[in-house]
Amino acid sequence: KTSTNRSLKQNFTRFEDLSNEIIYEIFEFLDAFHSYQAFNNLNIRFRNFVTYSNPPLKINISSITRTNFRDYNTNFIIPSQDRITS
């Protein structure tokens, strides 16, 4: 049974095991705010994806609370101004 458990564990792929290219493709489907909320504090690799990714960012601030917007604006929007599309 132990060998079966080991072989089952080896067949799992974690999100963080995905290649950078696949993660970039996933990020293209997400609003920048949701990417920021979900991945910015996960680990340094994902923080770098959120902060330094090349694709233009789509931002929709209509559903963001004032408190969340302040943090988002300071830590993400202002540093990423050159990548934001309307």
User: Is the pLDDT score of 66 beyond 80?
Assistant: yes
Residue range 9-57, pLDDT digits in tens: 667 888 889 998 898 888 888 888 888 888 888 899 988 888 777 666 7
Q: Which are the contacts of 72, defined by CB distance < 8 A and separation ≥ 6?
A: 33, 36, 61, 64
Count up the domains in the chain and report the number.
1
pTM for this model (two decimals): 0.58
**Residue 12 lies in domain:** 2-85
Task: Give one word for 4, left, alpha or beta, with left for phi > 0 and alpha for psi -120 to 50.
Answer: alpha
